[in-house]
Amino acid sequence: MRGFAYFSVLCLLFFVLFSLGCGTEWGKKIARIGQKPPRPAQFNVEASDEREYAVLYKEHYQFWRGWHQELVKTLGLNRKRDRQNMQEARRQLENLEKYLHEDKAKQVREFLERFDRHTRPLLRPLSSSGDADLMKRNLESLQAQIESRLHPKKVKDFFLPTPVPMDMKAYQGDEPILSSPPPASVKPPSLEADSPKDGDELTYEKFRSLSSTP
């Protein structure tokens, strides 16, 4: 009888403690057992500002070439996809300009204008399959000319000096010193003779003969 009374008192005491919140804390501790610790936040650090302009140019050039080829290959199959390919190809081509001296950057802008002119029909419904065929021929011709004049090996003498990374940057007054700045007397060679002209369009047959040459 006395043992039963002790047991009843212990049960009552446990109930009171549980009601006052002790049980809640124990429950939280038990719930935390087996939980994985939270993973630290991860951040993607862009290193583009610290890479050589030649490397960045080559990367954008390869992206442009891939999107341009995809546009030509699938042109007319899906209008939404065509526009996406067009926008990506144009964006990558435009990115080439910021790594080049003005004379060569001007050539990039001229190619952009021609790209816009050739792809303008994508902004409206194509009236016939002939429109897609004509656009494809124009884009193939444009690609051949861009590759012949803006290939990384063709523009290696026209890159702007790459800025020094922030953690290594030296300052002269308020302006950062660029790595290997060209002398004031040195100017990039003229590109007037190499500038694309409307009468300089490659025909589809010429492009095919060039592409088939090993």
3-state secondary structure of 100: strand
Say what the pLDDT of residue 179 is: 41
Q: Is 18 inside a domain boundary?
A: no
3-state secondary structure of 47: coil
In order, the DSSP letters of 125-165 are --SSHHHHHHHHHHHHHHHHHHHHHHSTTTSTTSBPPPPPP
Q: Is 63 inside a domain boundary?
A: yes
Say what the pLDDT of residue 66 is: 97
The stretch 58-71 carries a mean pLDDT of: 97
Count of structural domains, the chain: 1
Q: Is pLDDT of 125 > 50?
A: yes
Cβ pair 126, 76 in contact under 8 A:
yes
Domain limits at 72? 50-162+191-211
Cβ pair 138, 77 in contact under 8 A:
no
Q: Is 175 inside a domain boundary?
A: no
Q: What is the rounded average pLDDT for all residues in the chain?
A: 73
Q: Is 134 inside a domain boundary?
A: yes
Taking the alpha carbons at both ends of the chain, their separation in whole angstroms is 105
With the C-alpha atoms ordered 93, 97, 101, 103, is the resulting torsion angle positive or negative? Answer: positive
Specify the pTM: 0.56
Q: Is 173 inside a domain boundary?
A: no
Cβ pair 149, 200 in contact under 8 A:
no
Residue 16 CB coordination number (10 Å): 10
pLDDT band (50, 70, 90) for residue 185: very low
Task: Give the pLDDT confidence of 129-183 residue by residue, as tens digits.
Answer: 678 889 999 999 999 999 999 999 999 999 999 887 655 444 444 444 444 444 4
Say what the pLDDT of residue 18 is: 58
